[in-house]
Chains A and B, each alone.
Chain A
């Protein structure tokens, strides 16, 4: 790399790190710098892209070697959690040579715990600030004893009834997405790289520090993290979190998505033949919680066959 290229990178890095607190004048200087040379704009583009990816891809970071084995599962599942280590930098140095001093501490520091439901099971969670969370089956939610205003949906689905506090907005994270309440009842569901957010009351901000997509009551957003798109649509507020009464609503979505609802509500694994799983499906289905009743019903809706091998359920074309 030439000295000039290195210098340009230095400047690009500077500009990137300063963005959070640049004033009007600094922004003018930044634009002038970008315009001065295409190499500047290119260098900044590379830095900005990398920084964005570093914030969205926790899996890029190697596992922390200092983490004690007992905490590793939590740390690995939830890399966004903040872990405090006693004594700050000193302890970091000491832990390398001595025994571990890497403990989550109370008070202002994070003290995460996980609430997990089995397939077919569900659970109500009451937080001490008055917020209530209904967790669907086959779901995992990470909460924090030290901070009841943050929750991380690692998998599955939950309906949040948030006790609103303007000074401390309630934040739900999932994958690379952040949902922030503005006085709200809303539902969040994760299926692999897809995250669905539906609002029944009040409103939420999706990605409050980035895109800040405001979703009001009756709005539904679907984020495809692998494609990098957000689709906003409308939903009947009565249908938000309808899973709580066993109902699942589809609006032209791939039929294959019923499988995760069946896992969460009926607690069984349903395999849908690939020729059917992409077929668009619309309508409302009420699941009874008993796969033996629901799977044949679902199969009939799409004119397909079903069978059961004692453990798994299958839907395939006739």
Chain B
């Protein structure tokens, strides 16, 4: 099931197996005394984070086999100008989406993502209910996707962005 999750996230089996391998290595390095409440859910969450990190590394380096953890530094791994452009474009769209958001929504998102404040505490700070915060965060993340879809439609190079999203599947 873990492998299926990784395959679905990374788009191909080879990367997924590689990622799973990495995960076991990391698990092995964890201090053994660390208690884990729900081992299965913990593994899934770890796999999911792992997949996200790999995807970020892939969009940055533009290479599907870029592993996040490398044993040897490679001087030739500097992102090319075009590759870092893709990354910058993505960041620029995020910046635009954040700027376009109502302030309260942005504050909630910042507390949640950047400062790792639990949703319950965000609710207390913003004087909202917990379900109000959940809805606000959901709207915030959706707003970003809608904003991006709209600005991608305006973009001069729409093909570049859509192919970036599928880079792992096409190659």
Contact = CB atoms under 8 A, between A and B. Distances in A.
A20 B55 CA distance: 19
Interface in A18-57: 19-20, 22-24, 27-28, 30-31, 34-35, 38, 41-55, 57
B71 interface: yes
A100 interface: no
Interface string B55-75: 111011100001011111101
B68 A48 contact: no
A234 B166 CA distance: 37
Contacts of A213: 26, 29, 69
A191 to B, nearest CB: 14
Interface residues of A, number: 71
Contacts of B9: 34, 41, 44-45, 48
B interface, over-half SS = helix
B141 A47 contact: yes
Nearest 3 CB-CB pairings of A with B: A89-B127, A34-B8, A214-B29
Interface of B: 1, 4-5, 8-9, 11, 26, 29-31, 38, 40-41, 44-46, 48-53, 55-57, 59-61, 66, 68-73, 75, 77-79, 84, 90-91, 94-95, 98-99, 103-104, 106-107, 109-111, 113-117, 124-128, 134, 137-138, 141-142, 144-146, 148-150, 165-166, 169
17 contacts: A17-B134, A31-B1, A34-B8, A41-B9, A51-B52, A54-B109, A62-B98, A64-B107, A65-B103, A79-B114, A80-B114, A84-B125, A182-B31, A213-B29, A214-B30, A228-B56, A229-B57
